Amino acid sequence: MADGQRPGLMVVHGHRAEALLALALTWIRRWPQPPLAAETWIVPSQAVGLWVKQTQALQDEGIAAGLEMLLPAQWLWRAYRSVLGSDVVGECAPLDEGPLTWRLWRLLPTLTDPVYAPLQRYLRDDPDGRRRYQLARRLADLYDQYQVYRSDWLRDWAGGAPVLRGPDGRQTALAAADRWQAALWQRVLADWSSAAQPVHAQAEAPPTLPSRIDIHAAFVHAMRTAQTAPPGWPRRLTVFGLAALPPTTLEALALAARWTQVLVCVLNPCRAYWADLIPERLWLERAERHWRERAQRLGAARMEASLGAEALGHPLLAAWGRQGRDFIAWLQQYDERPLRDAFDAALRALGQRIDLFDCDDDGHRTGGPTTLLRQLQDDVLHNRTLAETQTQWAPVDPVHDASLRFHVCHTALREVEVLHDQIVAALHRDPSLHPRDIVVMAPDVGAYAPLIHAVFGRLGADDPRFVPYGIADADDAASAQRLALLRDLLDLPRQRLGVNTVLDWLQVPALARRFGFGPDDLALLRRWLADSGVRWGLDGQHRCALGAAAATDDTLTWTDGVRRLWLGMAMGPHEAGWRDAPPTPGVSPMAATLIERLQALLQTLQRHRQALSHPAPVRVWVQRLHGLLDDCLCADAQADAAEWHWLQRLRQALDAWAADAQTAGSEPMPLAAVADAWLARLGTARGAAQGYWRGGVTIATLLPMRAVPFRHVYLLGMHDGAYPRRPTTDDFDLMARHPRVGDRLARHEDLYLFLEALLSAREHLSISWIGRSAHDGSARAPCVLVAQLREHVAAGWRLAQADGAALLRALTFEHRLHPFDPAYFPPRPHPQQAPRHDQWTFSYAHEWAPRPAPSSPSAATLPPWQPEQPQSLSALQRFLRYPVRTLYEQRLDVRWYEHDETLEERDLAAPDERQRWRLNEQWLRAVVRAARRGQPVDEALAAAQRVWRHAAASGQWPLGTWGEAQAGAWDESARLAWQRAAAYWQQLDGRTAQRDRLDWRCDDPRMPLHVADLVGEVRRDAAGHRHRLLWQGHTLLDGEAGAQGQRPPWRLDQALSAWVTHLAHHLAGGPLYTWVLSPRGCAVLQPLETHTAQAAWQAIIDLWWQGMHQPIPFEPACALAWFDQQHKRSRSAEAAWDAACARYEGSPHRPGRRDRDALLRRCFPNFADLAGPRAQAADSALGQWAARLYGPLYAALGSALPPSVALTDIANTSEP
C-alpha cells in the first residue's frame, strides 16, 4: 500500500491555518476517495467547516462536493454506534445530560438520607419547582462532564468507593460535604438498573449501556479485539483546526487509525518545543520556593539553569497558551515516529512538509516581518523572550505601520460608530480588501447586534459608505420577536395581558396570521382599544387572581373592552349606552369580523391560561404545548421560510424534550420546569454557523475554536469585566477544585482564544473598549488580556526617538463622546471630500457635520407664505395656542409628537391636563344640552355624572370611591354652568338663530391672507342685541375670584379661542355678547366698537403672519404673566420679565412652559432667546405682543352685563 493510503495517525503542525488547509486539500487530491465516498472532516465548529468548504470551492472551480463536516462529539457517537451497533447504543446514552436531568428531577424529592442534606437545604423553598429543575439540570451537566473527563471517579463511586483519584492514580477520600455526589451516582445507577430489568422473567433485558463510560469501555474493547474494520468505516479522517479534545476522543481516533488514515492538522502557534513553557509569574514563584533550599548549594550562577531557563519564553504565549500547550503535549503521545517519517516522505513527494512553520499560505517560506503585528506573531512563532524582542526589531513608525491599533470609546454605540468609520476607511485605502476579508468579534455579540443594525443597516446599497455584513450567534429582530412571544405565551398564568402586550404579540406575523389580522387592522384596533379603555386583565376574576383588589365587574378589562366594541358597532356614538356601559365611538358596522377575531384571540388565551396553570405529566404537557402552537401560531412556508423553519424547530425541540423527560415518570411537572427545559432545547437547536461568510463583514461572538484567518480583525467590547468570561462553575464542581491536564476550563479557553485572534489577523488588528465613562469622562481599564498585550508592546517596541509608553500613545486613539464632535469634521475644500486617513480622528458620517446656521435658533426666515386655500378659524385658534408647533407643521411639514403609540396600562390615579380638558368639554356639553331642553338642575347633574362614569369606564377617570369623590367635587361647577346656560336659554330660546359667515381678506397686498369660515349660531334678544353661547374645557379663572368690586383673575390665554370667535362675529355680522362657560368661571365678552374689533383682529393677524415665517417670540402663558405684571399691576418691565421668565423656565418643583413643548425649547432654549435680554425688557417683542393681544381682550371682559339678563356675578368655583 502506498504511504499516501496506508492507515495510521499523522499529525501535521503549522502556525497558519491557510497552509494547513492547503496541505490537507493537496493530500486529498493526490489520494482521492473512491467514487461516491464522502470525505469526512472533523472540525471544531460549523464556522470552520464552512471556511473549509469555501476554500475548496475556490480552488476546485467553484465546486465543493462530497464533504462531510462533523463535530468531534458527533463523530465519536457515530463511531460508537458503528462499532457496537445501534441496538446497543441509541441516539443518546440513558445517562446523558438530557435524560439524566429528568431522572434526577424525579429522584431529588426521594433523597432523604442525611448525606443529601446540602441538596435538601437548597430545595426547601421551591413553590413552583423551578429550583428543583435547575438543580437537576446542573447536576446532570456535572455528571456529564465527569463521564467525559473523570470516568475513573465514576467507576470508583459505582464500585462503592467514595474517593477521588488523581492523575497519578493516588486516591484520597471524599470530604464529608461532598460524599453526596458519590451516593447520588450510585442511586442513579440503581435507578437505571431497576428500570432496565425485564417485566417478565422469560424476557431479556435490552442490551443497552447506561453511561458514556460503559459505552467507551465497550468501544475500546471491541476496537482492540476486532480483526477487521467495522462496516462502513471511513478510509480517511481529516481532523482540522482543533485546539482541544477530550481524552476519550483522542483515544478513539488513535484506535480508528488501525484501519483509517487519520490526518490531524494542528494549528500550533510556536515552532519550538513549548510544552514546558510556564508563565513568568509561576517561574518566579518556583524560583522563590527553591532559592532558599538550593541557592547556597548550587550558587547563584547555576540557579537559573536549575529552574529550567528554557521555561522562560514568550510571555504572552506562556500566559495565554495553556490550553493549546496541554493539547499538543497530549497529542504527542499518539504521534509515532515510524509513521511520522513515512508520512513525511509522502508529503515531501508532493512538495509539502509535515511541519509548515515559516511558510506562507501556499507552503513556501516567508521573508522577515515588516509590521508590528507580523513581528508580534513572529515572536510567538519563535518563542522569543522579551529581551530578545527588544533587540530583534527596529523602531515602529505608526504613520506607515497601521497593523495594530487600540480605540478607546465612551459607550458601546460609539464603539460601533468608530468601527464603521474604520472599516469604510480601510476599504477605501485598499481596493483589494473586500468586506468578506474582515471579521468583527465581541465577547457578547448579542449586546452589540442592535447597535450594529442601527449603524451599519441605516445606509442603502447605493451609498458609498455601505458595508454589507452578517451577524452570527445572535438572533435577528424577527427571531427575537418570535422567541419573546413564545416566552410570554408560556408565562400566560402570570401574564397581566396588558393592552400593549397583546398588541405587541399581534406584531408577530405567525400570531396575526393565525387569527386573521392584517397589517392595516392593528392601527384601527389600537385606536379602538384606546377609546374602549382596556388596561389589563381578561376579566375581573383574572385581575383578582393576579392580586388586584377585589373587583365586582370587568371594568377596564378585555371583556369590558370587547363588549363596548360590540355596543359601538350596534348603537353608534349613543351617549347613554346600554346598562350604563358606554359604546366605543368610531366603530363601523362593518367591523364585526375584526371584533370576532379579537374575541377569538382572547378566548384562546383564556383557555390556554387555565390549561397551563395546572401541573401535568409529560404526555399531557406535550399535548398542551402542541395545542398551544396549533392554536396560536401559523407559519407560511412560502411567505416566510425562516418563520416556518422556526416553528418546525419548536416542535422538534418539544419532541426531543419529551423523549428525554420519559425518565421523569408519571409525576406531574410544573409549568416553570417544562418551559425552561423546552426553551433550553430550542436554544441548542439554533444553527451555530448562521451569519458566516455571506459575502460581507462577518460579525460574531468571541468563542473558542474559531481561529479562521482574516485580513482584518476587529475586537469590540474588550473592557474590564467583559473578557475573559467569569467562571460560572458551581461550588460543588470537583473538577474545578481538582483540575487535570486536558480539562476544558472557560478561562483557559478564553486566554487561548485571544491568542488565536491575535495570530489570525493577517494585516490589521484593532481592539476597542469602553475606556471612558460617559458621565464624567473618568478612565476605565481594558480587560486584563488587552492590558497584558499593551504592556508587552510597550516593553518590546519603541518609537524612533521615544520609549514604549510613547508608542502606546501613538497606537491608542481616544475618541470623542459624540459622533458630531467638531474634531471629526475639520474644514475641507469640498464638503463631500473624503476625510484624510493620515489621522484617526475622522468620520464618514457627514450627516453630523456642522452646517452654516443663523446666530440664533429663531433668526431664520421662510419664504413668503402664500396659502392656496382660505384659512379657517380653527387654524388661527390652534396657532395662538401653539405658535411654534403650527409653524413647523404647516410650513415645514414636521409633525412632532412627544407621545408614543403606547397605550396606558395602569389604572388611572388622576387625569392629566389633556384628559381633564376633554372631560370638561363633555360634561359642559351635557349640561348645556340639558339646560336647552329645559331639564331641571338635578337631571343636568345626572348627565354630568354619567359623563364621569363613562370616562371612568373608558379609563379616562379614576375608578372607585376616589374617582367618585373627585367627580362629586365638580357638582358645584356643573350647577353654576347650568344656571348660566339656563339663563341664556330662558332669554333666547325660541328666537331665530342665524349663522354668521366670515369672509375676510387682508387689504395689504404683501399679506395675501384669506380667512373664511362659518362662525356659528347667533340669537337676538327682545332688545335686538346679538348673543352667542360658547363652552370650553379650559378654565377661565386663575385661583379664587377677586373681592367684590375687583376684576376677576382671568386666564386670558385660555380665552384666546373664544376671543377669536368673538372678533370673527363682529367682522361677519356686527357687535354681540359672547357667553363663555368653563369648568371654573363663566364670562361675557362685551360688544366692541367696529374700529376696536378691527384693530384687535389685525393684531392677531399680524402675529399669525409673522409666526408663519419664523419662530415668533410669543408664548401665551408667558405673555399673560408679562401682561399681568406690567399692565394690570403697573409694575416695571423688568418685573414683568422676571415673572414671564419664571413661567417659561419653571423651577425644580414646577416644570416650565419650555419643558412641555420640545419644539418651543428647540427654537428658544432660554427665556432670553424668547424675550431678549432683561436689560432691554422695555423693548421686548414679547411684552409688545402681550399688550396688543391681551389689552383689548381684558377690556372686553368688563363689568357691564347684557341688558335684561340677570347675571349679578361672574362666579367661580375652586378646582378640586
C-alpha 994/C-alpha 521 separation (Å) is 43
C-alpha 719/C-alpha 771 separation (Å) is 7
| DSSP states along 868-931 | SSPBPHHHHHHHHH-HHHHHHHHTS-----SS-SPPP-SPPSS--HHHHHHHHHHHHHHHHHHH
According to CATH, what is the number of the domain 97-208?
Answer: 1.10.10.160
pLDDT score at 923: 82
In the chain, pLDDT over 90 holds for what percent of residues?
51
pLDDT > 50? residue 199 = no
1046 close to 1026: Cβ distance less than 8 angstroms: no
- Which residue is associated with the grid cell 380638558? 917
CA distances from 95 to 183, 637, 655, 660, 968 (A): 16, 37, 18, 10, 71
C-alpha 980/C-alpha 1082 separation (Å) is 8
pLDDT score at 301: 39
Least Cα distance to 608 among 695, 488, 477 occurs for 488
End-to-end Cα distance, the chain: 102
The one-character DSSP state at 354 is S
C-alpha cell at 45: 465548529
CA distances from 844 to 159, 420, 592, 709 (A): 69, 9, 53, 28
pLDDT score at 154: 96
Q: What residues contact 220, with CB distance under 8 A and at least 6 apart? A: 251, 252, 255
The pair phi, psi for residue 1065, each rounded to 5°, is: -60, -40
C-alpha cell at 651: 416542535
C-alpha 528/C-alpha 536 separation (Å) is 15
SS3 707: coil
pLDDT-derived band of residue 552, with 50, 70 and 90 as boundaries?
A: low
In the chain, pLDDT over 70 holds for what percent of residues?
87
pLDDT > 60? residue 6 = yes
702 close to 764: Cβ distance less than 8 angstroms: no
Give all strands of the β-sheet with 993-1001 in edge-to-edge order: 993-1001, 1010-1020, 1026-1031, 1073-1077, 1082-1085
For 1174-1191, what is the mean pLDDT?
92
1040 close to 1212: Cβ distance less than 8 angstroms: yes
Give tens-digit pLDDT for 696-714.
Answer: 999 999 886 566 899 999 9
pLDDT > 70? residue 306 = no
Q: What residues contact 1190, with CB distance under 8 A and at least 6 apart? A: 1052, 1119, 1120, 1123, 1127
pLDDT-derived band of residue 200, with 50, 70 and 90 as boundaries?
A: very low
In terms of pTM, does the model score above 0.75?
yes
pLDDT-derived band of residue 838, with 50, 70 and 90 as boundaries?
A: very low
According to CATH, what is the number of the domain 8-85+218-277+313-367?
Answer: 3.40.50.10930
C-alpha 1131/C-alpha 1127 separation (Å) is 7
CATH topology (fold) of 477-684: PCRA; domain 4 (1.10.486)
Domain regions of the chain by residue span: 8-85+218-277+313-367, 97-208, 285-312, 378-473+692-823, 477-684, 873-903+990-1196
Q: How many CB atoms lie within 10 A of CB 978?
A: 26
Mean pLDDT, rounded, of the chain? 85
- Higher-pLDDT residue of 440, 365: 440
Domain 378-473+692-823 CATH superfamily: P-loop containing nucleotide triphosphate hydrolases (3.40.50.300)
Give tens-digit pLDDT for 891-935.
Answer: 888 877 655 568 888 776 667 777 777 888 888 888 888 888 888
pLDDT score at 1085: 92
pLDDT score at 369: 82
CA distances from 550 to 496, 557, 948, 962 (A): 15, 14, 22, 16
903 close to 503: Cβ distance less than 8 angstroms: yes
CA distances from 872 to 45, 694, 1011 (A): 69, 57, 6
CA atoms within 13 A on the CB side of 564: 31
pLDDT-derived band of residue 1111, with 50, 70 and 90 as boundaries?
A: very high
> What is the H or E stretch that residue 52 is in?
helix 46-59
Domains 8-85+218-277+313-367 and 378-473+692-823 share a fold: yes
Which stretch, 446-460, 813-827, 1147-1161, has highest mean pLDDT? Answer: 446-460
Helix axes 618-632, 592-612, angle to 10 degrees: 170
pLDDT-derived band of residue 576, with 50, 70 and 90 as boundaries?
A: low
pLDDT score at 1205: 39
For 569-589, what is the mean pLDDT?
72
Least Cα distance to 153 among 126, 171, 131, 139 occurs for 171
pLDDT-derived band of residue 550, with 50, 70 and 90 as boundaries?
A: low
C-alpha cell at 372: 508590528
pLDDT > 60? residue 1169 = yes
